[in-house]
Amino acid sequence: MALQLDEAFKGHTNNYWKIIGVEADHRQEKVKVQVALYKDAATRTADVMNFVKDERHTFDLTPGVDKDRADLYGDLKTLDKFSTAQDV
């Protein structure tokens, strides 16, 4: 799973954002999601982490509610940057 959203970066138009890290802090009720930008589908699905850049975003956790990756991708899509992204 990933988000497809074209972004120009360093002379290339890259278009796949994939979650590469998650850190939950239950005491602070926050989850940090690290996403990476890949230049194409082949690079995104390769076994090596060959991304162009990465970002971290923080979301609230609801006590007693577990989130899976699909939920976290949904959280990302609430951000203006990812609001028009397509699920792939």
Does an H or E element contain 45, and which? Answer: helix 41-45
Q: Indicate the domain borders of the chain.
A: 3-82
Secondary structure of 62-88 in the HEC alphabet? CCCCCCCHHHHHHHHCCCHHHCCCEEC
Tell me the pLDDT tens digit for each residue of 13-71. 778 999 999 999 989 999 999 999 988 777 777 777 788 889 999 999 988 888 899 99
Distance CA 2, CA 16 (A): 6
Whole-structure pTM value: 0.86
